[in-house]
């Protein structure tokens, strides 16, 4: 499963939920010129459940932002994306129950 939450991604494998952050490659001493400007995904957390991954992202919003308005804004964006996913899962579950 792969859940795109804008700036973040939650991806699962056989044993865990990996939280990734989308970043754009910046110029640097060790950066190849052809990679500058490309979007990459960097693993930032390994969680045992989807709920733990969401809790991590909530904490991350506070850590990454000093202005409380930015924290509230980022939290609301994540919350709306999660609510959309929840509705999608409920809809799919409801469709399976009808069959």
Q: What per-residue confidence (pLDDT) applies to 91?
A: 61
In this model, does residue 92 exceed pLDDT 80? Answer: no
pLDDT value at residue 9: 93
10-47 pLDDT per residue, tens: 999 999 999 999 999 999 898 898 989 999 999 999 99
Q: Which two tokens stand for residue 50?
A: 């989807």
Higher pLDDT, 34 or 85: 34
Average the pLDDT over 47-53 and give the result.
Answer: 89
Q: In what order do the strands lie in the sheet with 2-4?
A: 2-4, 8-12, 17-24, 39-47
């Amino acid at each position: 499963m792969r859940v795109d939450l804008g700036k973040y991604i939650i991806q699962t494998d056989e044993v865990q939920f990996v939280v990734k952050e989308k970043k754009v490659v910046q110029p640097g001493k060790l950066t190849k010129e052809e990679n500058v400007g490309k979007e990459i995904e960097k693993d930032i957390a390994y969680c045992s459940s989807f709920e733990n991954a969401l809790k991590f992202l909530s904490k991350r919003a506070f850590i990454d932002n000093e202005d409380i308005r930015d924290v509230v804004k980022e939290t609301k964006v994540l919350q709306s994306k999660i609510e959309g996913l929840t509705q999608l899962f409920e809809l799919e579950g409801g469709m399976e129950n009808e069959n």
